[in-house]
Amino acid sequence: GIQVEQSPPDLILQEGANSTLRCNFSDSVNNLQWFHQNPWGQLINLFYIPSGTKQNGRLSATTVATERYSLLYISSSQTTDSGVYFCAVERGYNQGGKLIFGQGTELSVKP
């Protein structure tokens, strides 16, 4: 099956710093989503981004489907950005939307 790899596995930042999280996938995908899992376990949608670039406030994401990777950028990080960031992909058209998740990047932002 398709493999989803995220890097780095862990990241510690000082408040105000910028960071880039990466998601590589082993085959063509129909859809890709980025999630933030907060310290209470809630998975929050960040981006639905099968291709192209999107921005939402301090966060932006880029997916280059032809090269099988996606990047999540966090600028001017805040302590509330702490948590685990997951990338998830859907294997192919009409695969029912079941998401295959990467192992996540655990981010800790220090004040």
Q: What is the DSSP string of 11-67?
A: EEEETT--EEEEEEESS--SEEEEEEE-TT--EEEEEE-SSEEEEETTEEEEEEGGG
Nearer to other proteins, 43 or 71 (CB): 43
CB of 100 to other proteins, least distance (A): 7
Contacts 24+ apart (CB under 8 A), 58-63: 61/34, 63/32
Nearer to other proteins, 14 or 56 (CB): 56
Residues binding other proteins (CB under 8 A): 30-31, 33, 35, 40-45, 48, 86, 88, 90, 93-94, 96-104
Tokens of 104: 């996540």
CB of 81 to other proteins, least distance (A): 18
Nearer to other proteins, 42 or 76 (CB): 42
